[in-house]
Structure formats: structure tokens, C-alpha cells
Structure 1
Amino acid sequence: MENKPWVQHYPETIPEEIEIAEKSLQQFLVETAKKYPTKAAIHFNGKEMTFNEIYESALKLANYLKGLGIKKGDRVGIMLPNTPQSFICFFGVMFAGGVVVQTNPMYTEREVAYQMKDSGAKVIIALDILYPRITKVKNETDLEHIIITAIKDYLPFPKNLIYPFIQKKQYGFSVKVEHAGNVHLLTEIMKTSTLEDPIVEVDFENDLAILQYTGGTTGFPKGVMLTHKNLVSNAKMCEAWLYKCEEGKEVVLGALPFFHVYGMTTVLILSVMQGSKVVLIPKPEPEVLLKAIQSQKVTMFPGAPTMYIGLLNHRNLQKYDLSSIDSCISGSASLPVEVQEQFEQLTGGKLVEGYGLTEASPVTHANLVWDGERIKGSIGIPWPNTLAEIRSLETDETLPPGEVGELVIKGPQVMKGYWNRPEETAKTLRDGWLYTGDLGYMDEKGYFYIVDRKKDMIIASGFNIYPREIEEVLYEHPAVQEAVVAGVPDSYRGETVKAYIVLKEGHSVTEKEMDKYARKHLAAYKVPRLYEFRDELPKTTVGKILRRQLVEEERKKVENQEGEKKA
């Protein structure tokens, strides 16, 4: 108790330590498919698939991948939104013994090429509309095969016939892909492949399940190596935390993208463990979410603050009944207190803030959902099997309650390390402790608070955005002499991306032109929303640009504006 003051707050139903059976991720699908074979596992635009259908489809894909030469430990990219295929392909790769490389469908050619090269992926599974993007960069990577699927493939009649016309109108083009050579159609794989169990032995503690890309301000995104133990442990902790959720009875809103580790663990993996039905939402717009919650009687809604804010501020909110919601854990960014209070009042359910990071699979802390104290502004207390401390940035000693230092974490959910980056791993993992780069403190009761980020990462609408990556793109513009990117306060997104630019002498460029340029090279959520052209940027005596000074300037501007409004 001396080192874990938070345990005193656990309700009787949450153990300090939970037993974690040594089972691979795919084994949970095997067991759930046997227990609930005819139960709906997913709901997608009016069509449902049972756990047994997901299981059999995953086996077919696994056998086909083995036929393509995929061996244990080979990396397979999955570049899909939240669709039935994302479930099938995740477990199909696992059954084949492969390592999933989750890839954001919004990535540009440049970003796809980087991630495929870095991971050494041999196969990528993607939507048809992404096919041109992949083919343009394939030769820069180790990719040998491309598996293509389409949204219409898993839509009910007549939506499956109508969707291609909607898609063409939306994107301005349509793609026709043939099942030939090194290009394969998932629909054909489902017709021809076998239902044998490939039976790949899994070393629970050491074998990788996924490479989940994250990044920092000092370089390009890094592949976080997460093992079966890491992910199973974190999902089991989540199950223990949500002790009132009933096996086989919950309906989960699948709005968090599965290419983000938060959505993958708390929705995809946990729902398979618990036999829950997931309502798949590929594009989480407020009206779509409201309709889904009401029509499907959603009981559990893991989300990001912008999702809850979007619903609360929607003009048609009063038309919908959201009273089925029982529990929500908010992550990816800090949850404003007023949003929490309004959402709980609206739904009658509980909305609590949690904390995590990709390197911890991802959750380490959360507020108590039902029983026990919830403290406003706190990220809550550590989950079972998890240790947390605040350490001095100068001496690395454990600090007493109330003192600000770096949050460090230890537990079975902590990553194995960074892919092919031993130096980065050694900096972040020390004696089994994960150094988060986040500054915070613990109070006398054992509740934790985050006060700032040591890293300069920007979190906008729940997405992690890394300034260095954007700066690299801006520096390639012929008119740009210097550029720095920072996160500035935004009432809706939490933070938004702002670029500060010094132009080369004799050059001129407008905000509109910079925006058009950035959109060619960056996913939409990374593109700066604001530009400021300056004659010079603040720097240290050795020439390092002072990003934090710019952020402070923005904060003061916002505070002054708010002060003027109140006056």
C-alpha cells in the first residue's frame, strides 16, 4: 500500500492484480466463436456478421496469406477504416502468424511509403480507392502483394449496388482492380480459400502481435512493438475496470479508428473477448453517431473528447434518445469537465477520463466509472497490475505527492521496444519503466494529474501529430527558409496545428498556396490550419528555434481575448 496509495480507492469488484491467461489474441476469437457462434459480432450499415462468420473468414484469409509465403513474424499492413474487413483482416493476419502493421487510410503516398519501408511489410490489405496510392510507392518498399477490398463488399442489398456511384461522386474517380498476379481481391479469397486452422505456435511473452506507429519531435514515426502479452493484458485490465459490463450483452460503438491503438484495444480486441456486438462507424460524424446510438441501443461508447463535444453541440441532438449508454471512457486528449458533466446529464451514463500512450497498449490510468471517487481534472488512478511514479527530471528520483516530474509506468502492457531503434528504446525503457515524456504529479490520495508534455507532440481531435514530420514537408517548399510547427489552443479540436514560416528573400507565398501544397504531402488532420509569416523566429544562442515560446505567445493571446470578452 505504501507504494500504491491508489489501491485503497478500488471497489471490491476490481482486484489489485488480475490473472492473465497466456492466450494469443486469436485464441479469444476461437473461444468466443465457439461460445456465441450465431451471435452478431458486428453491425455495419444494416448488415450483421456473427462471431463464427468472422472466425471462418479470418481462417480463409490466414490460409491464403500462408499460400503467398507469409511466415511467422512477417509484417502485413492493414490500411482500412472501421469495416467488417478490419475485423477479418486483423485476426486473419494473427492466425497466419503475421504481425499487423496498422496504417491510417488517410496517409499520403509519402507516409505510406515510409511506414511500409520501415516495417518491411510484405503484404498490404487496403480499400480499392487507396490502390492507386499504394501502386505509386510499391517499388520503394518490400511489398510483394496487395490485397484489395471495397466498402460495397460487405454492404447489404441494395446498398452494395448503390455505393459505387456514391463513392465515385465523393472521390471523383472509381477504381477497377483485377484479381491477377500480385494483386488479390478479398472477395475472391473468401470464395477459394480453405477453413483449416493454420496452427501457428505463439510465444505469449515475446512474439509481436502488432507494430503500431507513433512518433516524436526528434524524428519520424517509430514502430512500437506490442506483443500478445501487452495487448491481452491491457484488454483484460479494461475488462476488470468495466466490471458492470455483461459478457455477451454489450453493444459497443466502434467509432474510434482501429488503426489507432486506443480503438484497437478498447473496441476491437475487448469486444471479441467479451462477446460484445460492435456497431462499426467508418466516418464518425455527429449525426451518424447519434443515429447509431439510438437505433442500435449502444451501451458502451469509448471515444475522444471531440466526439462527445460534437454530439453535445449538434443541432438535432434533442431528436435522439441516448439513454441506452451506460459507460464511456474518453482518451486521446484531455476531457473538459463541462463536457463530462453535460454528457452524463444527457445520457444518464458515466463518462470518465483515462490516460494512455501507444507504448502502453495504450491505457495505464482512468477514473473509476461507477463506484468510488472521481476527481475533476485528474487522469485517475493506475489500472490493476500497473505501477506509476513521478520522477525528477534532474535526479530521476521518485518525487513525493504534489511535486511535478515525469510520469513513468511499469506493467505487462508496456511495449517490448521500438522497431529497429535500440537507442530510442534505451532512452524510453529503463529497468522495465516506461518514461512517458509527460509531466505531472500525484496527490496524497494516489490520483494522478498531467500538467504538460515534455514532448512537443500535438493532439488535435484525438490524433497524435508530430511537428517534425510537418516541418520536413514545409522545408521542401522552394519559398520556405525556416519553419516551425506548434500546437495552439482550439476550443473544438483541443489543439490545432499552426505553422510559423520565414520566407526566402525575394519569394512570396499565400496561406492558400501553402495549404494546397501541404495537402499534397500530408494526411488531412496533419495539415496546418493556421499560418503566420514572420521576418524571424525566436531562437536560442545556438540557433535552436524556441517552439515553446511561440506556444506561450498563443496561449497569452487566447487568455487576453477571453479576458476582453468577459470585460
Structure 2
Amino acid sequence: MDRLWYRHYNPKVPHQLDYPDKPLPVLLEQTVAKYPRNVATYFMGATLTYKALWDQIQRMATALRDLGVQKGDRVGIMLPNCPQTIVAYYATLQVGAVAVMTNPMYVEREMEHQWNDAGVQVVFTLDHLYPKVDRAAAATRVQKIVATSLRECLPFPLKWLYPLKARKDKLFTAVPYDDRRVFSFTRLLRQSAPSTTPCPATLEDLALLQYTGGTTGVSKGVMLSHANILANVIQICGWNPELQWGKEKVVGILPFFHVFGMTVAMNQPLYTGATIILLPRFEIDSLLKTLHKTKPTLFPGVPTIYVAIVNHPKIKEFDLSSIRFCITGSAPMPLEILKKFEEITGGLIIEGYGLSEASPVTHVNPIGALRKPGSIGVPVPDTDCRIISLEDGVSQVPVGEVGELAVKGPQVMKGYWNMPEETAQTLRDGWLYTGDIAKMDEDGFVYIVDRKKDMIIAGGYNIYPREVDEVLYAHPKVLDAVTVGVPDPYRGETVKAFVVPKPGETVTPEEIIAFCKSKLAAYKVPKAVEIRESLPKTMVGKILRKELREEEIRKYEQSKASS
């Protein structure tokens, strides 16, 4: 294969990499030996050194073994970004078990599906989530619950003020610890001795079941091995020749239960001896104060976060000049936002691409070499990609033509948990068919056009919502926007845009449509525009296009039924 992209690599980035032959916990132990006094985590003023973090991981590994967890067992981790999440994750891997990361915002039905499908037996969670976890566990194989509180990792005086705020916010829950079914995270640490048992996992053993819904269908468990996750960590490290080992400070705001956050904001910083600045949720004022105070150097994020920073009314009051590099993915990065953010910080935003099935990163724009804003960049080392014909699903299309993006590399999953048919559809001859529509230019840079499932077919024309979204974001009054295909009795589908104005701005549907007419072919212009105060989003900040489309379909069916 003619790998066009190699000639645009930074000269310091090799085409192939060497990968350690040890599982993740063993590599963390090596980092601890190298940087024992480095601060591993910063959480609202409280810090843990690498030595202290490793001690907690080893104590929790002992506790898990005492709770009956064995190699290959599945352990649910339903926590926000806090030190306990890292301890639970690495302790699970240390005993050879498989982590099942669960979104804390899940309702009981979603928990039940995931834990039943994975066969989870032990769950880590927060105290105020305990009631719904307890109810969901009753309908699953979960036998033991380990609960913790954010208070347990706060510094004085926040530790003592937390219960007052928790009661005010109606988050206070008295967990019925009984040391038989319900256990205290802190008590387990205190009562358990550090483990002396070597990690029994091999590189090919499962480390993670990462559940993904994709755009349609039931949530699927992506099987990622230690080798998969480790390969992606090494690929990301190798991609940045400016990486300063043992010195970086990384913003940990991307949720660790999402594979993007897990790899770039948790595993990769821990592998390199960096400090992770933990934030349990995205709240713009709190984020800016933390950035100003802690002076991070690396900032993995998603466009929604950068949009909020750029548009904050008091942004000039915060010093963000310590930020050198940002990596963004999960959603398109509006060019105007990228330019404004780089002007404010002096740092560089590097756009990339990934998916749960690839641990997740497959493409990134080069650092210190040719960068093409609007593209997802080029394949990372040891990763190949093809653009496959949408007509036959087999042949490659020429440069510049649109097709389905397929990738191959050491970070690609082993398959879907207990789903052989879905695995066979997605993994073909070693290639991962992503479901994303893309094109490659003459330099090997890839551009995502849209999801196969999101493409709008109106009157026989193929319309890619992302193209319309880019135009909407270019409007000076628009803060957030998304385009969906809605049912239309004449065209089959038609284009509808949902728009959130910037604070203090007012915009009308007519203005938006007129703006789009000046920048898009007539058939691509939204036929309807709805102005909203907010849009539904995932915890990672990705706008839920599917949810809005389903809402419109329900409206359409109801109107047909009543007419």
C-alpha cells in the first residue's frame, strides 16, 4: 500500500514503534519506581504522589482478591474522575480482572443491561449513587458493592464542608455498609495490606469491556486487551516528540469511563509520570479557575469544552498560557473556535480521530509538521487506513473520493463481547470498518464526512450533516448547532437545524437559513431551524444527533396519526 501520509510525519516520529511486553499495571509500577515523588493526581487541592497512589492500588488489589475477584472476572467501575477511579481501575487490572467502565449518569435499565451482559460481580460506585446501583444490582449477578465518597479525597477544610454541600444539593446518602455485601472503599484500603502477588494478566488477556452504542442498536461490549490499550498509549506518546516525561500536567476532564478519556487523560499520563489534574465534571467557571491555578501543559478535550472557554465573558481574567498542546476528538472542531482558542492560549490544538473499537486513537494531525485544520490528520504509527467503496464494500476508492473509513493496527479490538455476527460485520480480514464516511487527500490526510447512519438522503441527494454543521458554527451568533434528517412526505427526508445562540445574542430561523443559502447548495440548506437554549449531549460533550432525530420522527408519526 502506498502510505501517502508517511512523508508528512514529524521527522522525529518513527513509522513503527517498539511496544513493551508487560501488562498495564506492571508498566505503572515501573513509572512509580522512576518517579515516586512526582504528583500523580491533583484533586481540588489534594495530591497523591505516584508512590502513594501505587500503595492504594496494591491495597485495593488485596481487597478485591479477598472479595473473591479472580482473573477474568468483570468488575464494574461507576465513578466520575477522582483518585478512587484510578485506584479501582488499576487494582482490577492488577488481579487480572476486566474493568467494565459504567457511566455514572446511567439509569437502572442501562446498568442492568451492561452488567448482565458483562457478567459483572463487583461494582465500585459513589455514595450518592448507591440507591440506584443497589436497585439495579438486584436484577443482575452483582454480589458486592464498594462505595466511596468524593469527601474521602478532598483536602481540609473542603473535606468537612462537603457533607453540608451534599445535603444542600440532595446528594447525601447514608450507605448501609455491612462488610458482607456493601463495603467502604476507605475501610478496605485501611484494612488491606499491599498486594505481593504479581499481576497474572498477559498482553492478550482482556483488560476492558468498553460499552458503545454507536449510532444505532443495543449497546455492545468492545473487548480491549492489555496489548490494545498499551499500543495506543505508546502510539500517542510516540506521536508527540515534544513530550516531557515526568514533567507534564494533564487536564483530566474527559470522563475516564469513556475510552478517549481513559487513554489520553488517564493511562497515557500515568505511563509518562505526568500529573493528572482531575475534574469530576465539566463546569466552565470551575474549569477556568483550575486551569489558571494549576498551570497545565496538555489539555485533551472535545469541541464543546473549547467552545465554552472561547465564549466565556471573563476569559481575559484567566491565564491559560501554560497550555502547549490540546488533542481534540469525538466531534468536529469548528475552525473559528480552533483559531480563537489558539490565540487565547498560545497553545496548539491537534485534531484527531478514534473510536471505542480502536482503543480509541487511529488518526491525529502531526505535531511540528504539516497540519490541516478540519481533517482528522493521518494514521498514527503502525496503523493503516483505507477508504472503501460504499457501493461494493470491498474496493478502495481513488484519492479525493468518498467511502467508508477502514483501519488496521495493534490498537484494534479483539471483537464484541458475545456478539460474533456483529464482530464479523465490523472486523473483516483484520480491517476495522468504522461506519464513518470519509475521504483522503493527496497527502494522506483524512476528512470525516459523516456517519453512514447520519447521512441524509433528500430527494435523491446525499447530504452530510457535518458539512451543514460547519456552516452553522461559522455564524457569528451561534454557540452550538447540529443538523439532522427529518421525515418529509415529498423528499423522503429533509434537513433541520437546531441552534443555540451565544449568550446575549438573539437569532431567528430566517437569519440562519439566509446565512446557509449564501454558503451551501440549495438542496443542503436547512428547510427548518429550531432555536433552543441547549442541546442534548453525552458526558463527553458530543451532541446527541440521534436523540434529536428520534424526537422529530415521533412528532412526525404523531402528526400523521392525528391527521
TM-score scaled by length of structure 1: 0.82
Instruction: In structure 2, give the amino acid aligned to 1:337.
Output: L
**Residue of structure 1 in register with 2:322 after alignment:** 324
1:92-124 deviations in Å (ceiling 9; x for gaps): 111111100000001111111111111101100
**Residue of structure 2 in register with 1:199 after alignment:** 198
User: d(CA) in 2 for partners of 1:394 and 1:159?
Assistant: 59
**Residue of structure 2 in register with 1:46 after alignment:** 45
With over 3 angstroms needed to count, the CA separation of the structure-2 counterparts of 1:322 and 1:437, relative to structure 1, is same
**Residue of structure 1 in register with 2:73 after alignment:** 74
Work out whether 1:392 is the aligned partner of 2:389: yes
Residue identity (%) = 43
With over 3 angstroms needed to count, the CA separation of the structure-2 counterparts of 1:123 and 1:456, relative to structure 1, is farther
How far the C-alpha of 1:211 sits from its partner, in A, is: 0.3
How far the C-alpha of 1:216 sits from its partner, in A, is: 3.4
Match among 203, 207, 212 for residue 214 of structure 1:
212
Instruction: In structure 2, give the amino acid aligned to 1:384.
Output: P
**Residue of structure 1 in register with 2:146 after alignment:** 147
Instruction: In structure 2, give the amino acid aligned to 1:536.
Output: E
**Residue of structure 2 in register with 1:4 after alignment:** 3
Asked if the contact 1:440–1:451 (Cα under 8 Å) also holds between the matched residues in 2, the reply is yes
1:448-482 deviations in Å (ceiling 9; x for gaps): 1111111349999xxxx9x9xxxxxxxxxxxxxxx
Instruction: In structure 2, give the amino acid aligned to 1:443.
Output: D
Unpaired segments of 5 or more residues in structure 2?
Answer: 456-464, 470-481, 485-492, 503-535
With over 3 angstroms needed to count, the CA separation of the structure-2 counterparts of 1:76 and 1:399, relative to structure 1, is same
Work out whether 1:426 is the aligned partner of 2:424: yes
Select between 66-75 and 189-198 the one with higher mean Cα deviation: 189-198
User: d(CA) in 2 for partners of 1:29 and 1:488?
Assistant: 46
1:283-304 deviations in Å (ceiling 9; x for gaps): 1211111111111111000000
How far the C-alpha of 1:240 sits from its partner, in A, is: 0.9
Match among 357, 375, 379 for residue 378 of structure 1:
375
1:246-257 matched pairs, under 5 angstroms: 246-257=244-255
How far the C-alpha of 1:490 sits from its partner, in A, is: 4.3
Select between 398-407 and 217-226 the one with higher mean Cα deviation: 217-226
User: d(CA) in 2 for partners of 1:535 and 1:67?
Assistant: 56
SS in structure 1 at match of 2:169: helix
User: d(CA) in 2 for partners of 1:170 and 1:398?
Assistant: 55
Asked if the contact 1:209–1:227 (Cα under 8 Å) also holds between the matched residues in 2, the reply is yes
**Residue of structure 2 in register with 1:190 after alignment:** 189
Select between 213-222 and 280-289 the one with higher mean Cα deviation: 213-222
**Residue of structure 1 in register with 2:528 after alignment:** none
Task: Tell me the C-alpha RMSD between the 2 structures.
Answer: 2.7
SS in structure 2 at match of 1:124: strand
**Residue of structure 1 in register with 2:123 after alignment:** 124
How far the C-alpha of 1:215 sits from its partner, in A, is: 1.5
Unpaired segments of 5 or more residues in structure 1?
Answer: 468-483, 494-517, 540-567
How far the C-alpha of 1:394 sits from its partner, in A, is: 2.2
User: d(CA) in 1 for partners of 2:371 and 2:354?
Assistant: 17
User: d(CA) in 1 for partners of 2:501 and 2:53?
Assistant: 37
Asked if the contact 2:81–2:280 (Cα under 8 Å) also holds between the matched residues in 1, the reply is yes
Asked if the contact 2:63–2:189 (Cα under 8 Å) also holds between the matched residues in 1, the reply is no
User: d(CA) in 2 for partners of 1:47 and 1:244?
Assistant: 28
SS in structure 2 at match of 1:232: helix
With over 3 angstroms needed to count, the CA separation of the structure-2 counterparts of 1:71 and 1:314, relative to structure 1, is same
With over 3 angstroms needed to count, the CA separation of the structure-2 counterparts of 1:15 and 1:538, relative to structure 1, is farther
How far the C-alpha of 1:157 sits from its partner, in A, is: 1.3
**Residue of structure 1 in register with 2:27 after alignment:** 28
SS in structure 2 at match of 1:389: strand
SS in structure 2 at match of 1:73: coil
How far the C-alpha of 1:155 sits from its partner, in A, is: 0.6
With over 3 angstroms needed to count, the CA separation of the structure-2 counterparts of 1:398 and 1:262, relative to structure 1, is same
How far the C-alpha of 1:175 sits from its partner, in A, is: 2.7
Work out whether 1:176 is the aligned partner of 2:197: no
Instruction: In structure 1, give the amino acid aligned to 2:391.
Output: E
How far the C-alpha of 1:491 sits from its partner, in A, is: 5.4
1:318-341 deviations in Å (ceiling 9; x for gaps): 110000000000011010111111
Match among 365, 368, 375 for residue 367 of structure 1:
365
SS in structure 1 at match of 2:48: strand
With over 3 angstroms needed to count, the CA separation of the structure-2 counterparts of 1:392 and 1:52, relative to structure 1, is same
Aligned length: 487
Asked if the contact 1:209–1:226 (Cα under 8 Å) also holds between the matched residues in 2, the reply is yes
How far the C-alpha of 1:198 sits from its partner, in A, is: 2.3
How far the C-alpha of 1:487 sits from its partner, in A, is: 9.3
**Residue of structure 2 in register with 1:552 after alignment:** none
1:495-510 matched pairs, under 5 angstroms: none
TM-score scaled by length of structure 2: 0.82
User: d(CA) in 2 for partners of 1:220 and 1:353?
Assistant: 29
With over 3 angstroms needed to count, the CA separation of the structure-2 counterparts of 1:434 and 1:491, relative to structure 1, is farther
**Residue of structure 1 in register with 2:448 after alignment:** 450
SS in structure 1 at match of 2:213: strand
How far the C-alpha of 1:26 sits from its partner, in A, is: 0.6
User: d(CA) in 1 for partners of 2:304 and 2:73?
Assistant: 36
